[in-house]
Amino acid sequence: MTNLTLYYQSSLMQGRNSLVRTLISAKRMSSTITPTANAPPPAASYSQAVKVNGFIYVSGQIPYTPQNKPLPGNPTIAEQAEQVLQNVANILEASNSSMKHIVKANIFLTDMKTQFGEFNLVYAKYFSEHKPARSCVAVKELPLGVALEMEVVAIEKDKSNL
């Protein structure tokens, strides 16, 4: 998919009553969908990840296996976090990136009081040296009744100095 993106700068010239529009840049932006069988398939009309100009945008990952099954039994938040982080890692690998190339993570928990600490213990194992920008928010509920969802933005390996 290719979009033609135009950026305009508008300014009012001093002493004149005319509006000047300057074309700053016109750039073709290409996007690539990067699917993998090593993470759950999308549950609706979205992609696992989309690559645009060296950035990889990973859709929200939930604690489902690559076979699109929930974790068996009554998994702890730590077990759910491990599955989610592994899904993210697998998608990034298929997209020419890795966990150390993540620049932003958004985490959604259904119970901040009981899940935050346990989630952070698992998260810290994946991000001991490299610490991306991060948001973690509590939400009322998540799709399919899961307790955790995570989305990330990463940079391609060959476009990064990380």
Residues that are catalytic: 136
Q: What does the block give as tokens for 75?
A: 């998994």
Neighbour tally for 154: CB within 10 Å: 29
Alpha helix segments (H runs only) across 5-111: 77-94
Pick from 147, 144, 143, 73: nearest CA to 107: 147
Q: What does the block give as tokens for 48?
A: 């696992």
